[in-house]
Structure formats: C-alpha cells, structure tokens
Amino acid sequence: MAEFVDSFETMSGLQKAVTIFGSARTKPSDPFYISTEELGRTLAKNGYAVITGGGPGIMEAANKGAARGKGQSVGLNITLPHEQKGNRYANMPINFHYFFSRKVCFVKYSMGFVFMPGGFGTLDEFFEVLTLVQTHRISRFPLILFGTAYWSGLLAWIEEVLKKEGFISPKDTSLVILTDSVEEAMSVILDYTHRVGPPKTIPPAFA
C-alpha cells in the first residue's frame, strides 16, 4: 500500500506519458539502444513524459533521451538480484519492491506503449497491457512493437496458432502496430493524442 501511495503522489502531475519497455541487457552500441534514445528525446520534445522500468539497457536509453530532450524522465525501478539497478537519467526515480504495484503505475499514467526487444519481462509486460486493451479494461492506447525482425516470429505464431484455433478474436491482432521507424512510432502516438486528447481520468481498471 505504501508503494501505491508514494508512487501515485509522485506521478500525479504527469499530464501525458508514454511507457517504453525493453531489455535491461541492451548495450549502448546496439541499434535498438540508439533508436530508443532518439524516441525518448523526440517524445520529450513533443511534451510527453517518458516512463521506463528505471534500469539499464533500453530503459536507460529511453530515460537518457527524455532527459536530454528536457522532459520528464520517469524510472520505476525494482530491486532484483541480477542486472537491475537504477540508471542516472531518470529525473523522477521511484523504487519498488513488488512487481504488481509497479505494473499498475506503468499503465495508470500512460497513453501509449512502445515495446523494444527484450526478454521474459518485456514479453510479460506486452501481454499484460495487450490483455487489458483486449478486455476493455483500459482504452485502446497505441501498442507499438519496435523491431520487425525481433517481433515477426511471435506475431506469426499468434496469427497461425492463436487466431486459427479461435483462442483470440479475429480483430485482436489489429491491436498492435509493428514498425522499425522512430518517426512512425511518434506519428502513431501523436495521431492518438490528437484524436482523443490526453487522459483526464484514471483508466477503468484502476478506478
């Protein structure tokens, strides 16, 4: 409960924000790190706060871009025995012990989600948010999968197995957008904002 109270108070001033997920293991020389930093900077220059898991890799890149774009750079860090530690580019750092309270904050304050290549954690976050949109627990926010080569295999399996076997509805695969372009990702987010405006209330899942 203390984590909810502290994080809600800290993040309550965010007007519009986008969460960027991805691997903690991505190196600064990796093209996805470079693209993520560019996306974070572009979001900040367009008035969006950038929210990440607060750790290294893709999270660091997004926070670095947002900070260098003179924007709000939020890092929701969680203490793990390996690989996760807070990065120095989050100008709004918040520490968590529990995954579930951290997940609520990712969704509660975001109006768009970008999923860079990552491991189990990134996949967990992708399917968590996708399920909330699919079941109408939250609005149909942009869900952007960045990296065609990385995500195509998973999307093909979803099409060929889940859809064909009837485990999901035919239109469910249209809930996600696949791209390799920072410009396209930004365009999707801007278009959504222009159509619906920034969020004014707590999403239904958390009301």
Backbone angles phi, psi at 93, to 5 degrees: -85, 140
Cα dihedral angle (2, 71, 47, 207), rounded to 10 degrees?
A: 0
Q: What's the pLDDT at 205? A: 44
- Residues of the chain with pLDDT > 70, as a percent, come to 92
Average pLDDT over residues 23-29: 96
Work out whether strand 143-146 and strand 177-179 pair parallel, antiparallel, or are unpaired: parallel
d(CA 142, CA 178): 11
The model carries a pTM of 0.89
**Poorest-pLDDT segment among 64-68, 94-98, 143-147:** 94-98
- The confidence band for 204, taking pLDDT boundaries of 50, 70 and 90, is very low
Average pLDDT over residues 49-53: 95
In the predicted structure, residue 202 carries a pLDDT above the cut 50: no
Element (H, E) at 146: strand 143-146
Q: In this predicted model, what pLDDT tens digit does every residue of 147-181 receive, in sequence order?
A: 999 999 999 999 999 999 999 999 999 999 999 99
More confident residue, 102 or 184: 184
More confident residue, 5 or 73: 73
- The confidence band for 80, taking pLDDT boundaries of 50, 70 and 90, is low
**Poorest-pLDDT segment among 4-13, 111-120, 131-140, 185-194:** 4-13
In the predicted structure, residue 101 carries a pLDDT above the cut 90: no
Is residue 41 within 8 Å of 48, Cβ to Cβ? no
Is residue 177 within 8 Å of 146, Cβ to Cβ? no
Can you list the domains of the chain with their CATH numbers? 2-195 (3.40.50.450)
More confident residue, 135 or 98: 135
More confident residue, 199 or 11: 11
- The confidence band for 7, taking pLDDT boundaries of 50, 70 and 90, is confident
